Amino acid sequence: MKNILTRMFWPILKFFEVGETPANYKNSHRVALNVLGALFIFLSLASAAAASSVGGLASLIPVIIFFSVGFVAVVVGVLGSSSAVSKIWGTK
User: Is residue 68 predicted with pLDDT exceeding 90?
Assistant: yes
pLDDT band at 46 (very low <50, low <70, confident <90, very high): very high
User: DSSP assignment of 20-56, as one string?
Assistant: S--TT--HHHHHHHHHHHHHHHHHHHHHHHHHHHH--
pLDDT value, residue 67? 97
pLDDT value, residue 21? 66
Contacts of 15 (CB under 8 A, 6+ apart): none
CB 20 within 8 A of CB 84: no
- Exposure pattern of 5-15 as b/e (b: 16+ CB <10 Å)? eeeebeeebee
pLDDT value, residue 25? 78
pLDDT band at 17 (very low <50, low <70, confident <90, very high): confident
User: Is residue 91 predicted with pLDDT exceeding 80?
Assistant: no
Higher pLDDT, 16 or 66: 66
pTM score, whole prediction: 0.86
Interatomic CA distance for residues 16 and 22, integer angstroms = 13
pLDDT value, residue 77? 93
